[in-house]
């Protein structure tokens, strides 16, 4: 199945059923956290995912990233199925897909310098002479603006710096897909904008595919080529970012969009920083 058309991710009819905690006729009852979702993410494309809390965004992201096996449905990743979670083949596949979560402190080792952690990600997957591993880790830290901070321990960095270190650790393996699950949500607005600009820059430089999950619609609009709207486990609509935001088809999407303030401080800040750095997504930038 390794045809050129297979460059990217394709999900077909994904379902994730969890136990609801209730019992029905003596059997545990289940509900569908994700219900028959089909989507694609092309090489170099950013797909934003929005939807209210509990709508299934993270569950969908974990299945797309291959860290959770769907109850039914399939994911093909550059033409191949993911191996069963935890198998040696699955561990080999891990280098091609990375996940960045909201809380960087929870995913780093507090005892190791950030250089050591970036380096370790690399040496887990590649046989390298020590000097080459050091050089590549250092180059990656420089790319995220932490060139002078490699020796620091996680607690010696700010939240934004630590998230940059986590992004460096995710990207040092040159993955094809990065799933960002509320990756900037916990950060101060100006730091959010810096990290988003960093992702936009790395996306261009490394031709990354991104799945960008966020409850922040203005950020999603800014970064995404296409956007999908989740509601109660289903993908209600999916389409080109500009079209979806300007002309939402579904009443739920219209209500979701109506909740964005017309000109929030965050939108103004993003616009200012873009004007300053010359970055823009490939669609119409955030409107005031």
> Which residues contact ligand ATP by CB under 6 A?
18, 33, 51, 53-59, 215
Q: Which of 16, 46, 55, 58 binds Mg ion (CB under 5 A)?
A: 58
Judged by beta carbon, residue 28 or residue 275, the one nearer ligand ATP is 28
Judged by beta carbon, residue 143 or residue 238, the one nearer ligand ATP is 238
Instruction: Return d(Cα 124, Cα 126) in angstroms, integer.
Output: 6
Q: Whole-number minimum distance, CB 268 to ligand ATP, in Å?
A: 25
Q: Whole-number minimum distance, CB 243 to ligand ATP, in Å?
A: 23
The helix or strand, by DSSP H or E, that contains position 93, with its residue range, turns out to be: helix 88-93
Subset of 264-283 contacting Mg ion (CB under 5 A): none
Residues facing 212 on adjacent strands = 48, 180
Q: Whole-number minimum distance, CB 285 to ligand ATP, in Å?
A: 25
Where does this chain touch Mg ion (CB under 5 A) — which range of 52-60, 203-211, 224-232, 265-273? Answer: 52-60
Judged by beta carbon, residue 97 or residue 157, the one nearer ligand ATP is 97
22-33 CB burial, b ≥16 within 10 A, e <16 = eeeeeeeeeebb
Judged by beta carbon, residue 54 or residue 265, the one nearer ligand ATP is 54
Angle at 236 between CA 230 and CA 240, to 5 degrees: 90
Where does this chain touch Mg ion (CB under 5 A) — which range of 56-64, 67-75, 95-103, 185-193? Answer: 56-64
Q: Whole-number minimum distance, CB 100 to ligand ATP, in Å?
A: 14
**Tokens 């219900």, located at residue:** 35
3-state SS track over 103-171: CHHHCCCCCCCHHHHHHHHHHHHCCCCHHHHHHHHHHHHHHCCCHHHCCCCHHHCCHHHHHHHHHHHHH
Quick check: 197 binds Mg ion (CB under 5 A)?
A: no
**Tokens 């990656």, located at residue:** 140
Phi, psi of 13 (to 5 degrees): 50, 45
Where does this chain touch Mg ion (CB under 5 A) — which range of 29-37, 53-61, 119-127, 278-286? Answer: 53-61
Which position's Cβ is nearest Mg ion? 58
> How is 216-228 classified by DSSP, letter by letter?
-HHHHHHH-SEEE
Residues facing 74 on adjacent strands = 12
Q: Whole-number minimum distance, CB 261 to ligand ATP, in Å?
A: 19
Where does this chain touch Mg ion (CB under 5 A) — which range of 54-62, 91-99, 120-128, 218-226? Answer: 54-62
Q: Whole-number minimum distance, CB 114 to ligand ATP, in Å?
A: 26
Q: Whole-number minimum distance, CB 58 to ligand ATP, in Å?
A: 3
The helix or strand, by DSSP H or E, that contains position 245, with its residue range, turns out to be: helix 241-246
- Binding residues vs Mg ion (CB under 5 A): 58
């Amino acid at each position: 199945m390794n045809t050129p058309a297979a460059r990217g991710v394709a999900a077909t009819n994904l379902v994730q059923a969890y136990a609801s905690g209730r019992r029905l006729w003596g059997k545990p009852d289940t509900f569908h956290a994700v219900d028959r979702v089909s989507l694609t993410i092309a090489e170099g494309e950013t797909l934003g995912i929005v939807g209210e809390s509990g709508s299934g965004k993270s569950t969908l992201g974990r299945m797309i990233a291959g860290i959770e096996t769907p109850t039914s449905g399939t994911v093909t990743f550059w033409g191949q199925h993911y191996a069963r979670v935890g198998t040696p083949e699955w561990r080999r596949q891990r280098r091609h897909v990375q996940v960045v979560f909201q809380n960087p402190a929870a995913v780093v080792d507090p005892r190791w310098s950030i250089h050591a952690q970036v380096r370790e990600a690399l040496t887990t997957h590649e046989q390298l002479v020590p000097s080459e591993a050091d050089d590549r880790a250092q180059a990656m830290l420089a790319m995220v603006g932490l060139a002078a901070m490699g020796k620091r321990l996680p607690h010696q960095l700010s939240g934004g710096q630590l998230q940059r270190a986590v992004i460096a650790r995710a990207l040092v393996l040159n993955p094809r897909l990065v799933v960002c699950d509320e990756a900037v949500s916990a950060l101060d607005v100006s730091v959010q904008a810096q990290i988003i600009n960093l992702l936009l820059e790395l996306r261009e430089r490394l031709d990354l595919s991104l799945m960008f999950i966020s409850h922040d619609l203005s950020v999603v609009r800014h970064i995404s080529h296409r956007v999908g709207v989740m509601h109660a486990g289903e993908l209600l609509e999916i389409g080109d970012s500009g079209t979806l935001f300007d002309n939402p088809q579904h009443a739920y999407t219209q209500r979701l969009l109506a909740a964005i303030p017309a000109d929030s401080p965050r939108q103004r800040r993003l616009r200012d920083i873009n004007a300053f750095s010359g970055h823009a997504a490939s669609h119409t930038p955030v409107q005031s």
